[in-house]
A and B are shown apart, each in its own frame.
Chain A
Amino acid sequence: MKIITCFKVVPDEQDIELKDNGELSFERAKLTISNYDLNSIEAGAQLAEKGSHELIGVSVGGAKINESKLKKNALSRGLTSLFMLADEKLSNLDTHQTAKLLKIMVEKIADWDLVLCGEGSSDLYAQQVGVQLGELLGATVINSVSKITEENGKIIVERTLENETEVIEVELPAVLSVTSFINLPRIPGMKNILSAGKKPSTVWSLTDIGGTCPSETVEVIETKAPRQMDRKKDITEDDSAESIQVFIEKIAAELR
């Protein structure tokens, strides 16, 4: 079975700085793998190791994602090989653009059986790419997957919902988006890190895939952090029913 796991390269959250005008500065932010995608890579790695399958990592983004350390980071987590589509024109993709480009990549890799995605990205968290990619590929699409097992060549998944757990036998090819609690991503050791540098990785530009960047479907007008406010220091002293009611009303008024 050929498994493809998609991951997004995002600015490291701890390096993002807030400017005085509320805008976010990414200038000093190192690039890293989106947290939620570590779960999809781990889910793929566990499946691949159990069934001796091939596990291919796939990512799309600006030219900056073609970074040696970042590629080793991904490859040290159980991937067999890595494909990147890195081009300056692909720096700020919306979810539909990402899904369309991933479709081209997955089809170019060919003969795939299963695509795994995280439940969202740690920067935008739109939770759209997995379902859109599945639709574009014409494959079975399931999100919120909290468990994946392979039994006699079949993929069985679980979706943990509020009051029940769905167990679904999945028709391949399929695109699954996994939850952040499906597993605890592994910590790569020195052996994994050293071997990562020897694994094959391929970087394509837009020209290599014979395409142009799909047009935007979303226009981002502004991205700003919430305005910082001083504490109001309005203290509700006791826990009587009346005071709690007053407290709730005050909170409700603030949220309006």
Chain B
Amino acid sequence: MDFSMTEEQELLIESLKELVAREAPESEVKKWYEVGAVSDQFMRAFLDAGFGFLGIPEEYGGTPADLTTLLMVAEELTRGTAATIPALSNILNMFDMVEFGTKEQIRLSMDLYEKTGKASFSLAISEPQAGSDNSGMTTTAVRKNGKVYLNGGKTFVTHGGVAPYCLLVAKDETPDRDNKNMSMWLFASDTPGVKFAPLHKIGQGTTSFAELYLDNVELDESCLVGTQGKGFLQLMKNFEIERLLLCMQTLGLAEAAMDDAASYAGQRMQFGRPIGEFQMIQQLLTDMEIKIKNMRNMVYEAAWLYDNGLSIRLESALCKRYCGRASTEVCSDAMQIMGGIGYTTEGRISRAWQDARGWEFAGGTEQIMVHIAGRQILKKYAK
């Protein structure tokens, strides 16, 4: 079993560390959370250094990279900044577009992305009554007189109102529960009838969230992305990769919290010695380290399976089930070690804790992961 990185991966991570040191010092990251967005300068630098094109096909200016390498970048970027940086989910969105979009849609998305490094389009999937239960979706795309009309509403729209375009999944023609036909649509955020209303979160303050209202939004047929009626299946194709990517961010947050707390425990003097010498602190650190190791091992093993062409349906669900909660626990224990300082917004741990909590449900709740994993486990052990 080889756990070592390739020379190329080592060099890439060294480059990333250099980028983070130059462009994302803590004073800068704090500002991002205050204004609610990662700076244009960082997104540009991330793109210029080539990280923003990892995994995107070469014909669109990308650089080949396997999932393991992409996840290493996600881990290091999050660990180095103790922040949730949407740069990697932007890459993932481009994967969807490159796979299912028309030539014009791909070019449009890539051109916008290349200009800024920011998301070309927001993602409108969830609805107030339809999260993991996508049958409950009621937003419709109805054809009339050669045009398509969108009606309904979405919530938790990532980059909603900020990205210039919106990628939306709607039911074809009728909102009935038993209508399984859904399609993907790409349209400009300022199309008449489109209205975004920002949602305010307690964490992950670098990524905007919005509600979206669609009032008879008229689109051309050319706005369809991929195959008519297969929109949700298209979306699901990258769900498993997305889960691992999110898990890597939870891992990075936990590692950042560990970096700060363990270093603090070695320096903070109480009763004439560093608090790290007390066994109760050591127990916290030990359990945190175990969780971090578990997260790393689970996610990289899943990435290895994927890169070797094997299924990760079970593994990606197990990772998502475990990592969000484990990360919150590690950040919470780190805060316990740091005490009052950890609870202030001066340090990084309070931020990592708030961000980690969101990953317990964003991208699929821990509970729905049991539903996915449970069925796979029964299949795996069936005699």
Contacts and interface: CB of A to CB of B under 8 A. Distances in A.
B335 to A, nearest CB: 28
Interface string B365-379: 000000000000000
Contact of B15 (A68, A188, A194): A188
A190 B72 CA distance: 13
**Most chain A Cβ neighbours within 10 Å, of B7, B22, B53, B54:** B7
A193 B54 CA distance: 12
Contacts of B49: 187-189
Given A187-B18, A190-B63, A191-B63, A197 B50 contact: no
B12 interface: yes
B72 to A, nearest CB: 11
Contacts, number: 49
B11 A73 contact: yes
B12 to A, nearest CB: 6
B51 A190 contact: yes
Interface residues of B, number: 19
B166 to A, nearest CB: 30
Contacts of B65: 190
Contact of B51 (A72, A189, A196): A189
B156 to A, nearest CB: 32
Contact of A197 (B8, B15, B19, B54): B8
A191 B51 CA distance: 9
A16 B10 CA distance: 20
Contacts of A189: 12, 15, 49-51, 53, 63
Nearest to A185: B18
B8 to A, nearest CB: 5
Interface string A178-206: 00000010011111111011000000000
A193 B9 CA distance: 9
B11 A188 contact: yes
Interface residues of A, number: 16
Nearest to B11: A193
A184 B45 CA distance: 13
Contacts of A191: 50, 53, 63
A69 interface: yes
A196 B8 CA distance: 9
B11 A69 contact: yes
A68 B19 contact: no
A191 B15 CA distance: 12
Nearest to A190: B63
Contacts of A188: 11, 15, 49
Interface string B1-29: 00000011011101100110010000000
B15 A72 contact: no
Contact of A68 (B7, B54, B63): B7
Given A187-B15, A189-B51, A69 B63 contact: no
B206 to A, nearest CB: 21
B127 to A, nearest CB: 38
Q: Which 6 A-B pairs have the closest CB atoms?
A: A189-B50, A69-B7, A190-B63, A187-B49, A191-B63, A193-B11
Interface of A: 68-69, 72-73, 76, 184, 187-194, 196-197
Interface of B: 7-8, 10-12, 14-15, 18-19, 22, 49-51, 53-54, 63-65, 69
